[in-house]
């Protein structure tokens, strides 16, 4: 005999709303890359007192960079709106998130073998998503910072060099701010980032191309980048290394053109001019 189940008391029910957003899409990509397992292997935690692992925190930062771009102090509040399982966290881990814990995770990432980690991620992306690497685009930009950063003078940390935060040519047109220089190479197929470098704030572009080229050859193989000699020829001349002209730091410092300045004519075409007054001979192409 079936027993009737009494409906629950409405006073015992509650409503909990959580956001999914774009997390299922982000997780689908990171899972195909194997990013959670790679981070866990590169950022192993040896302290049992750690409440949020470094790998979980970096995974959270990655998702936030794609979806939210919140500052470190706002990650806890941002994560609390989402289903914690989609962030790779438990409810308890979300409740203890703060900028100190995430900052320590970022320090652990800096001290890890980031070159091997990034190389593995890039090669998996190329293979998993069939990215065409026959054509690449490379450029650099300046990242301005606010503050003095007196200690950012290139002192090595854990045997690894650190970039110098200093004044340089500002592509943001903020010569009053210190900066870093960010060099990025992406594929023409989908603009997928393949390689990056962070250099001193006063680095100019011309000496960065050959090291970037060599790094890409090591990553993708010489069969993908066969024009190494051609690049070297562009960057050098018979008189020594190529040196680009020095331009004013600010547009308003550039001299204005003088009135009446004559623009030089283009060189004459050495080929004989075509006489269109006579008809072409029979059988000639028109």
Q: Where are the domains of the chain?
A: 23-116, 134-241
Backbone angles phi, psi at 4, to 5 degrees: -80, 135
Backbone angles phi, psi at 48, to 5 degrees: -70, -15
CA distance 143 to 172: 8
Structure tokens given for 7: 């409906």
119 has pLDDT over 70: yes
Pull the structure tokens for residue 29.
């990509």
Within its chain, how far is the Cα of 167 from the centroid? 21
How far apart, in whole angstroms, are the C-alpha atoms of residue 119 and residue 219? 7
Q: What is the pLDDT of residues 161-199, one digit of tens each?
A: 899 999 999 999 999 999 999 999 999 999 999 999 999
The dihedral built from the CA positions of residue 121, 126, 130 and 132, taken in this order, carries a sign that is positive
pLDDT tier at 280 (50, 70, 90 boundaries)?
low
pLDDT one-digit tens code per residue, 64-108: 999 999 999 999 999 999 999 999 999 999 999 999 999 999 999
Query: 138 pairs with which residues across the strands?
Result: 185
Whether the Cβ atoms of residue 111 and residue 104 lie closer than 8 Å to each other: no
At 190, is the secondary structure helix, strand, or coil?
coil
Paired tokens of 241: 């290394």
pTM over 0.85: no
pLDDT at residue 55 greater than cutoff 70: yes
**How large is the angle between the packed helices 54-67 and 99-111, nearest 10 degrees?**
100
* Amino acid 17: pLDDT: 86
Give me the percent of the chain exceeding a pLDDT of 90.
Answer: 59
The pLDDT value given to residue 9: 78
| 164 close to 150: Cβ distance less than 8 angstroms | no
Whole-angstrom distance, CA of residue 172 vs CA of residue 129 = 34
pLDDT at 242: 46
Give pLDDT tens digits for 37-53.
999 999 987 777 889 99
Spatial distance between the Cα atoms of 211 and 183, rounded to a whole number of angstroms: 11
pLDDT of residue 268: 57
Structure tokens, 138: 């490379």
Residue 262 has pLDDT above 70, yes or no: no
């Amino acid at each position: 005999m079936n027993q009737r189940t009494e409906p629950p008391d409405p006073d015992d029910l509650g409503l909990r709303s959580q956001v999914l957003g774009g997390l299922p899409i982000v997780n689908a990509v990171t899972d195909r890359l194997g990013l959670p397992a790679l981070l866990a292997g590169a950022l192993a935690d040896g302290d049992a007192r750690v409440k949020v692992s470094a790998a979980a925190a970096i995974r959270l930062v990655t998702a936030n960079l794609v979806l939210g771009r919140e500052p470190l102090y706002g990650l806890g509040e941002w994560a609390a709106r989402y289903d914690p399982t989609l962030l790779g966290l438990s409810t308890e881990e979300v409740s203890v998130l703060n900028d100190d814990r995430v900052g320590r995770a970022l320090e652990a990432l800096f001290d890890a073998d980031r070159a091997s980690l990034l190389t593995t991620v890039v090669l998996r992306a190329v293979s998993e998503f069939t990215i065409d690497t026959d054509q690449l685009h490379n450029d650099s930009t300046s990242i301005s910072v606010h503050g003095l950063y007196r200690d950012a003078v290139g002192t090595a940390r854990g045997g690894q060099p650190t970039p110098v935060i200093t004044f340089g040519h500002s592509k943001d047109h903020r010569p009053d701010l210190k900066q870093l220089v960010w060099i990025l190479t992406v594929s023409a197929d989908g603009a997928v980032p393949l390689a990056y470098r962070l250099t001193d704030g006063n680095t100019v572009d011309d000496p960065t191309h050959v090291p970037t080229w060599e790094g890409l050859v090591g990553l993708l193989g010489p069969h993908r980048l066969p024009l190494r000699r051609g690049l070297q020829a562009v960057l050098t001349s018979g008189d020594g290394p190529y040196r680009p002209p020095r331009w004013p730091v600010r547009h308003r410092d550039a001299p204005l053109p003088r009135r009446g300045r004559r623009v030089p004519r283009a060189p004459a075409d050495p080929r004989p001019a075509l006489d269109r007054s006579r008809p072409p001979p029979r059988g000639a192409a028109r």
